[in-house]
Chain A
Amino acid sequence: DTGVSQNPRHKITKRGQNVTFRCDPISEHNRLYWYRQTLGQGPEFLTYFQNEAQLEKSRLLSDRFSAERPKGSFSTLEIQRTEQGDSAMYLCASSLGSGRTNYGYTFGSGTRLTVV
């Protein structure tokens, strides 16, 4: 296994367009997380899946954002009607977890979104 994979690495889009990012977690990991990191800041939690169920969403996740994890494998994060403030690095992480315990929390290389 090559770790957590994210595609694309970079995305430039015009304001108002929709974008979709993909994350392929480590295959045996049941949990998948999305974070957003703006310039000069630490990553901020967006949402988390356990298998295919989306169990937690941050208030940062406006209704223009939607995330899915069909079949509990890869996940997609879609941003509709992008705004310049959406420009950030979007990071995906996965872990093997049960209850409040997580093992092997691993991040992907991220997708850098630039909205022009």
Chain B
Amino acid sequence: AQKVTQAQTEISVVEKEDVTLDCVYETRDTTYYLFWYKQPPSGELVFLIRRNSFDEQNEISGRYSWNFQKSTSSFNFTITASQVVDSAVYFCALISGNMLTFGGGTRLMVKP
């Protein structure tokens, strides 16, 4: 069985602040993939990043960065200099085999 936990249900920050969204996962498999998705109010799931279990290099894409630590089973997501447009629900997900397992999501509110 696999499980993804996003302990922060809601985070509120002021524009330009940095914010980190936590994700902890559980799986018995040695090969798996981790994802982050953004879900704006319109409802679609927007793909942000996919990492495989063998690649622990941290990744940076513009204002977004991801910290994958296998030792603590965590895959945290940081937004630097947050903007109002970053307001959304963010989901961490794990796939091992064919099924994506999602965390409960973190609602991020960025205030002007």
Residues of A at the B interface (CB closer than 8 Å) are 31, 33, 35, 40-45, 48, 55-56, 89, 91, 93, 97, 100, 102, 105-110, 112
Given contacts A42-B102, A42-B104, A43-B45, contact A105 B95 (CB under 8 A): yes
Is the beta-carbon distance between B91 and A109 smaller than 8 angstroms? no
Is the beta-carbon distance between A97 and B98 smaller than 8 angstroms? yes
A110 (CB) vs chain B CBs: closest residue: B43
Chain B: number of interface residues, binned into ranges: 20 to 34
Q: How many A-B residue pairs have CB under 8 A?
A: 57
Is the beta-carbon distance between A45 and B43 smaller than 8 angstroms? no
Residues of B at the A interface (CB closer than 8 Å) are 4, 31, 33, 35, 37, 42-45, 47, 50, 91, 93, 95-105
Partner of A43, one of B42, B98, B102: B102
Is the beta-carbon distance between B99 and A56 smaller than 8 angstroms? yes
Main secondary structure of the interface of A (DSSP, over half): strand
